[in-house]
Amino acid sequence: MPLESQDRPSTPGEATSPLLDTVRVSIYTQIAESGAPPTSAEVAAQLGVPRAEALALFAELGRQRSVTLDPQTGELWMCGPFSAVPTRFRVNGSRASWWANCAWDMLGIPAALGIDVGVRTNCGCCGEALELAVDAQRGPTMGEGIAHFFLPARHWYEDIGYT
């Protein structure tokens, strides 16, 4: 999955504006509670601004690489560790469920939320269903498997969707 095209050079590590930070935290709060990120229309309604302005805020978060956007629509696609679209990594909590972007992120979700979860995924080779139980403090307590990282770390910032 390619990273969306960037019109301007990204600068990870830069300070963010208060408005952008508020929007980012709000996005994560909605994901945590509902399982999915908000659309630009929803954010626009929350802020009382035109949808184009919400899309511009998404674009700025994307430029910072706080999130990854759908290159066709400009809507939120990946808000690490969460995915806006179904994947092979399903994470189930007691109040909501989430899609994770990858094997790393399926454990990133309980880490980010600080809650116990169950994970349902499958073997990348044979497709056999694999289930994990993850304790918020101790990590995986049930289930087995290993993760394979394709790309060395030096390429992560080039293509975040294919690591």
According to the binding rule CB under 8 A, does residue 83 interact with another protein?
no
According to the binding rule CB under 8 A, does residue 7 interact with another protein?
no
Backbone angles phi, psi at 62, to 5 degrees: -65, -40
Element (H, E) at 27: helix 18-34
As measured in angstroms, the least distance from the Cβ of 132 to another protein is 7
Give me the DSSP letters along 40-84: HHHHHHHHTS-HHHHHHHHHHHHHHTSSEE-TTT-SEEEETTEES
Task: Give, in order, the Cα–Cα distances in Å from 131 to each of 67, 118, 123.
Answer: 27, 7, 10
Interacting stretch for another protein, rule CB under 8 A, among 36-44, 45-53, 69-77, 107-115?
A: 107-115
According to the binding rule CB under 8 A, does residue 38 interact with another protein?
no
Label residue 64 exposed, middle or buried (CB < 10 Å: 0-12, 13-18, 19+). Answer: middle
According to the binding rule CB under 8 A, does residue 55 interact with another protein?
no
User: Per CB under 8 A, which of residues 127..146 are in contact with another protein?
Assistant: 128, 130, 132, 134, 139-140, 143-146
According to the binding rule CB under 8 A, does residue 48 interact with another protein?
no
Q: How many CA atoms within 13 Å lie on the side-chain side of 60?
A: 16
According to the binding rule CB under 8 A, does residue 111 interact with another protein?
yes
**Chain positions contacting another protein, by CB under 8 A:** 12-16, 21, 24-25, 28-29, 32, 64-66, 80-81, 89, 102-114, 121-126, 128, 130, 132, 134, 139-140, 143-154, 156-157, 163
